[in-house]
């Protein structure tokens, strides 16, 4: 920019300074903000055409955003902007009507019977929460209710008039202003009143203004008429003569009345002229609309001069790209919205930041460092522009005594007021006390240092300096002490120096760019390296900061590190951060951290940051400043210190490539802490739409919305209102009764559920600010899906009854079959038992008696025989016959079904053992017989156990040379156990010949067939022990015909 152009622009600014009002935010910061307010209109006027993507500009204390047709607006020419009771903005345009929630436009195409080839909406009015009334381009009066158009009952009464204006007063009456002929009509739902020239209504201004003053009086203004309407009719007020009268409601009571000649305030029956004559430009600009916002500012839309603001007794102009503004309104966030004739929809959002660069008089756009001295003046290292001081509206570039401007890289003020400047060619300073700011000069210190990268002024007065990509020193009493490897310094580039309060006083901490952290030892003579988490060993550190609670934070290339020797915490994108690469970090007075990154500057509450880390998976609410603040793409700088600063008024400052950005961090929250409303608009079932007027919290008082059967697809439409920062709105939804948890719905306007089962469901939708500055709001809708005839309760009951009967019939059939099989089995078992009894009786009576006779004869013959050989044979025959009789008794006992009992088996084993050992020198001990239960046992098991007992006792008699046998029986845990042990000579199982262990193998085979286990323990000279284990459970013998 040439000096001549700059001079002409400054001249224009100073001559127009009376036309601008500076906000308290701007005034408190001095000329920095004042220059922003004055210079911005020049910048806007010369900008090229724009759309939503590049429409973020600044006008004084406002950020200006514009929406056009490509952003969803039906047409760039807007005739009317109104706000409904829920907070939605409705836009009447030349292309139709649309609703706006701050992020999305919902267009409502008008049916051809109403549009008649011209979709323009001339005027809008809110009839109730779910109904809009509008005038079409052909003058038809139409209602839009629940998304459907219908003719208004009063439409037939205005067909002969050219209607242009609409309003609804607090009584619900509809007012219609016409232009041919000029008249005013009032429809109360039953009859139409018309007020024309006979009532004094003969001229029309840009529009008829209807202002309700309670339900008893409604004010009317247009042309040269001002009056009120009550139950007695329309009355004209006697006012000062004026023309083109427009009126608006005053927030503190009364009316604002704007005419061609003056602006006046009417309150309590008295007039007070506010502006007139040369101070009131209405005749030149042409007033289109008038509106007072909640903060008491009166806004005036003009035909030829953009928009005017009246505040604190002064009228100022905000220059826009499009001078013709048709309508003004205010949203629920306090932003001002302008409907323009061809320029689209404009939002004026109050700004809470400032960018200090050439637009505010800085020599260069980029400053790499910022500080504040003891007087509250801001100092900037403006690189080739030199050190710059701003105080009390004056911007001053500080030079050396010879007038030279050094290249300033860093700047820092100590507690004594001395300002230190790090430059490419060395270290400079300027003393605190000067007779005049203009007399300040830079003094270069004669230290052998160049390319200063870091300056830090400690509380004790020392100045820490790093230079030449790795050297560091401390300046104390004009003496520079450099630290080297001897003192523990590695010679790496410094990322930052801070001071932290330790147990013994202030401690100096230094971080290097390549991931090392050091603390200065207590003797202040050496550095000690501090441990970092292993995953941070190879990362880059860009800055470090100590907050008010003495926590140490490191901005790194992989996230934000909260350093603690025992428990360090790293916060990354996984925790909700917009970026992992963080350049600078600083805390404000409200326990928040402000951080610059590649994606922009964001802030986060420290308390929520720590809480999120203690709850894994919980996202940190972060406020990112971007498009909605005209700060999109703003990137912080790296490589020096200080690049951030907190001024004494609480604001935080960042050095960026677009200039130094200052944020108003003096409030507890960046945005006003207000719930972000969310509403459920409607519900579609199989394409049939049902409008929902409002969402309610679920409860007994909310009547379910019934949906008929065969609903294969149900769609819920919803909208979250955020007019200040829609990009930071987070939405989630859940269908209670179907969804298991909340589902993120950010960016969605509807959700679809397919093939829901009949029953009751509650649809919840919740919105919240991503930064956590505003609490969440929730809306709910209860629906009940009706069942088809086959899904009804009576049908299911009938089916259940049929199933019960079928199961009972099948169970009866199966039970009868099982009983018959069991009966056949019992009959067969009885027959077998009878047969066994007969066989046992026959064996005992027939075979037993005959064998006994054989033995008796052999015994008799033996006694009479003289031949010794015959005598021996006959004696053996008699013995064998007695043994055979004993075996026969055992077999008969086994076959006899009366002995199918464990208790009888135990008693038999006891008797058999005693009888066998009666005539031998072996004594016997038998324990546990009485403990055996009298429960059934199969003949097979009885036979096998008796045979094993016989084999074991015979082996003892033949080979053991024992003098004592012990038998121990037990029944426990459903098992029968028996141990047969002797104190004989025993044997070595490994040394047995093949034919010596034939009896042992038989015992093992018998136990295997019986389904039990046998264990044989023996050793030379240790006796022998045989242990049996078998289940007591009765298993009936298998027989033909038994299918169980």
Q: Give average pLDDT by consecutive 10-residue segment, the chain, 1044 residues.
A: 40 34 35 35 26 42 90 94 95 96 93 90 92 93 92 90 92 92 92 92 89 88 91 85 87 91 90 92 92 94 93 90 93 95 94 88 93 92 94 88 93 92 94 66 91 93 93 93 93 93 88 92 85 84 93 94 89 90 94 93 91 77 84 86 93 94 73 73 83 51 77 89 87 93 91 90 88 71 86 84 94 91 81 72 65 69 74 72 70 73 90 86 92 88 88 88 93 92 87 68 89 91 92 64 40
Q: Quote the CA–CA distance of 621 and 139 in Å, as a whole number.
A: 50
What are the angstrom distances between the C-alpha of 485 and each of 464, 489, 526?
17, 5, 9
Instruction: Answer for the pair 90, 106: CB distance below 8 angstroms, yes or no.
Output: no
Would you call 846 helix, strand, or coil by DSSP? helix
State the Cα–Cα distance between residues 441 and 407, nearest whole angstrom: 15
Report the DSSP pairing between strands 729-736 and 759-769. antiparallel
Which DSSP category does 405 fall into? Answer: -
Q: With helix as H, strand as E and coil as C, how does 890-954 read?
A: HHHHHHCHHHCEHHHHHHHHHHHHHHHCCCCCCEEEEECHHHCCCCECCHHHHHHHHHHHHHHHH
Residue given tokens 């202002």 in the structure block: 211
Q: Tell me what pLDDT residue 705 has.
A: 86
Could you give the CA distance from residue 622 to residue 625 in angstroms, rounded to a whole number? Answer: 10
**Backbone conformation region of residue 331, classed left if phi is above 0, alpha if psi is from -120 to 50, else beta:** beta
- Does residue 453 contact residue 409 with C-beta atoms inside 8 Å? yes
**pLDDT of the residue at 1044:** 38
CA 498 to chain centre: 35
d(C-alpha 457, C-alpha 526), whole Å: 19
* CA-wise closest residue to 302 among 318, 154, 438, 161: 318
Q: Which two three-digit tokens encode residue 941? A: 């098991």
Q: Edge-to-edge strands of the sheet including 527-530?
A: 494-502, 505-512, 517-520, 527-530
pTM of the full structure:
0.69
Count CB neighbours of 66 within 10 A.
24
Residue 685 β-bridge partners: 688, 714
SS3 317: strand
Determine the pLDDT at residue 329: 96
432: left (phi over 0), alpha (psi -120 to 50) or beta: alpha
Write down the H helix ranges in 185-304.
282-285
**For residue 936, how many C-alpha atoms fall within 13 Å in the half-sphere facing its CB?**
8
Cα 302 to Cα 241, 242, 678, 790, 989, distances in angstroms: 22, 18, 34, 66, 120
Of 520, 518, 562, 514, nearest to 537 by C-alpha is 514
Q: Are 907 and 945 in contact (CB under 8 A)?
A: no
Nearest to 676 by CA among 146, 129, 103: 103
Stretch (H or E) spanning 141: strand 141-145
pLDDT at res. 729: 86
And the tokens for 336? 């001002």
Q: Give the pLDDT confidence score for residue 994 in this predicted structure.
A: 59
Give residue for tokens 């005539």.
919
| Residue 739 DSSP code | B
pLDDT of residue 203: 86
What distance in Å separates the CA atoms of residue 716 and residue 731, rounded to the nearest whole number? Answer: 14
Contact yes or no for 409/640 (Cβ under 8 A)? yes
List all residues 6 or more positions away from 717 whose beta carbon is below 8 Å from its beta carbon: 680, 681, 682, 683, 684, 749, 750
Coil, helix or strand at residue 886:
helix
CA 660 – CA 33 distance, rounded (Å): 13
Q: Residue 243 in contact with residue 259, Cβ under 8 Å?
A: yes
Strand order across the beta sheet in which 552-556 lies: 541-546, 552-556, 559-563, 569-571
688-691 — which CB contacts under 8 Å span 24+ positions?
Answer: 689/146, 689/147, 690/146, 691/130, 691/145, 691/146, 691/147, 691/148
Answer yes or no: are the C-beta atoms of 777 and 676 closer than 8 Å.
yes
Tell me the backbone φ, ψ of residue 845, rounded to 5 degrees: -80, -45
CA 837 to chain centre: 83
């Amino acid at each position: 920019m040439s000096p001549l152009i700059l001079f002409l622009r400054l001249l224009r600014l100073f001559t127009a300074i009376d036309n601008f009002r500076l906000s308290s935010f701007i005034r408190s910061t001095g000329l920095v903000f004042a220059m922003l307010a004055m210079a911005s209109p020049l910048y806007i006027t010369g900008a090229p055409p724009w759309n939503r993507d590049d429409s973020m500009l600044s006008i004084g204390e406002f950020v200006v955003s514009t929406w056009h047709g490509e952003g969803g607006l039906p047409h760039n020419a807007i005739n009317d902007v109104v706000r409904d009771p829920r907070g939605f903005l409705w836009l009447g345009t030349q292309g139709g009507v649309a609703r706006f929630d701050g992020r999305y436009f919902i267009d409502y195409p008008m049916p051809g019977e109403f549009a008649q080839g011209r979709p323009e909406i001339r005027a809008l009015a809110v009839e109730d929460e779910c109904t809009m009334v509008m005038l079409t381009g052909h003058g038809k009066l139409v209602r839009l209710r629940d998304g459907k158009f219908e003719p208004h009952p009063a439409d037939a009464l205005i067909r002969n008039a050219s209607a242009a204006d609409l309003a609804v007063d607090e009584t619900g009456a509809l007012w219609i202003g016409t232009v041919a002929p000029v008249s005013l009509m009032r429809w109360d739902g039953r009859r139409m009143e018309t007020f024309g020239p006979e009532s004094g209504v003969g001229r029309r201004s840009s529009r008829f203004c209807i202002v309700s003053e309670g339900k008893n009086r409604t004010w009317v203004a247009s042309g040269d008429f001002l009056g009120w309407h009550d139950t007695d009719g329309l009355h004209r007020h006697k006012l000062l003569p004026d023309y083109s009268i427009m009126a608006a409601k005053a927030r503190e009571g009364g009316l604002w009345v704007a005419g061609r000649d003056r602006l006046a305030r009417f309150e309590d029956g008295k007039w007070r002229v506010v502006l007139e004559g040369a101070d009131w430009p209405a005749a030149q600009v042409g007033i289109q609309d008038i509106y007072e916002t909640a903060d008491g500012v009166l806004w005036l839309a003009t035909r030829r001069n953009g928009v005017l603001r009246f505040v604190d007794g002064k009228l100022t102009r905000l220059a826009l790209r499009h001078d013709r503004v048709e309508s003004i309104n205010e949203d629920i966030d306090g932003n001002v919205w302008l409907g323009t004739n061809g320029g689209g929809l404009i939002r004026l959002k109050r700004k809470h930041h400032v960018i200090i660069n050439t637009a505010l008089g800085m020599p260069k756009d980029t400053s790499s460092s910022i500080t504040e001295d003891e007087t509250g003046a801001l100092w900037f290292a403006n690189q080739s522009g030199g050190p710059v001081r701003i105080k009390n509206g004056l911007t001053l570039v500080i030079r050396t005594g010879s007038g030279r401007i050094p290249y300033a890289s860093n700047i820092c003020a100590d507690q004594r007021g001395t300002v230190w400047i790090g430059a490419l060619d060395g270290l400079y300073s300027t003393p605190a006390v000067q007779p005049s700011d203009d007399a300040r000069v830079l003094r270069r210190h004669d230290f052998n240092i160049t390319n200063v990268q870091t300056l830090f002024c400690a509380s004790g007065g020392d100045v820490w300096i790093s230079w030449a990509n790795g050297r560091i020193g401390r300046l104390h009493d004009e003496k520079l002490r450099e630290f080297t490897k001897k003192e523990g310094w590695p010679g790496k580039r410094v990322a930052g120096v801070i001071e932290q309060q330790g147990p013994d006083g202030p401690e100096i901490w230094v971080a290097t760019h390549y991931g090392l952290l050091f603390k200065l030892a207590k003797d202040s003579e050496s550095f000690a390296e501090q441990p970092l988490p292993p995953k941070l060993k190879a990362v880059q550190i860009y800055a470090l900061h100590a907050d008010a609670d003495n926590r140490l934070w490191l901005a790194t290339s992989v996230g934000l590190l909260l350093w603690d020797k025992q428990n360090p915490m790293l916060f990354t994108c996984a925790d909700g951060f917009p970026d992992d690469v963080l350049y600078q970090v600083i805390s404000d007075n409200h326990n928040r951290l402000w951080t610059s990154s590649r994606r922009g500057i964001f802030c986060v509450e420290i308390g929520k940051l720590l809480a999120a880390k203690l709850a894994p998976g919980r996202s940190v609410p972060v406020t990112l400043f971007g498009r909605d603040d005209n700060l999109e793409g703003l990137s912080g700088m790296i490589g020096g210190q200080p690049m951030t600063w907190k001024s004494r008024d609480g604001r935080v400052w960042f050095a960026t490539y677009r200039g130094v950005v200052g944020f108003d961090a003096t409030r507890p929250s960046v945005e006003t802490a207000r719930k972000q409303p969310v509403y459920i608009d409607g519900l579609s079932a199989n394409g049939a739409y049902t409008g929902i007027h409002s969402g309610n919290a679920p409860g007994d008082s909310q009547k379910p919305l019934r949906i008929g059967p065969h609903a294969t697809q149900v769609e819920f439409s919803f909208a979250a209102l955020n007019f200040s920062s829609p990009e930071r709105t987070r939405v989630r939804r859940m269908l209670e009764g179907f969804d298991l948890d909340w589902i993120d719905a950010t960016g969605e306007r509807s959700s679809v559920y397919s093939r829901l089962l009949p029953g009751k469901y509650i649809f919840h939708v919740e919105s919240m600010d991503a930064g956590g500055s505003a609490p969440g709001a929730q809306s709910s809708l209860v629906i009940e899906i009706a069942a088809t005839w086959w899904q009804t309760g009576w049908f299911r009951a009938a089916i259940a009854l049929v199933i019960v009967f079928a199961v009972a019939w099948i169970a009866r059939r199966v039970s009868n079959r099982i009983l018959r099989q069991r009966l056949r089995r019992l009959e067969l078992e009885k027959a077998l038992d009878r047969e066994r009894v007969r066989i046992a009786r026959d064996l005992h009576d027939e075979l037993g008696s005959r064998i006994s006779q054989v033995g008796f004869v052999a015994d008799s013959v033996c006694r009479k025989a003289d031949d010794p050989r015959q005598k021996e044979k006959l004696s053996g025959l008699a013995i064998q016959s007695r043994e055979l009789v004993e075996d026969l008794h055992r077999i008969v006992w086994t076959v006899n079904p009366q002995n199918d009992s464990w208790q009888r088996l135990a008693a038999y084993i006891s008797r058999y053992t005693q009888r066998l050992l009666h005539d031998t020198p072996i004594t016997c001990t038998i324990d546990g017989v009485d403990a055996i239960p009298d429960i059934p046992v199969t003949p097979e098991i009885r036979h096998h156990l008796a045979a094993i007992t016989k084999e074991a006792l015979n082996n003892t008699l033949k080979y053991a040379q024992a003098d004592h046998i012990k038998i121990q029986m037990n029944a426990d845990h459903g098992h029968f156990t028996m141990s047969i042990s002797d104190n004989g000579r025993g044997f070595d199982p490994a040394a047995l010949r093949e034919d010596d262990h034939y009896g042992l193998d038989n015992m093992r085979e018998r136990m295997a067939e019986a389904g039990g286990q046998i264990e044989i323990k023996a050793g030379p000279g240790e006796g022998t022990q045989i242990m049996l284990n078998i289940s007591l459970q009765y298993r009936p013998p298998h027989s033909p015909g038994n299918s169980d």
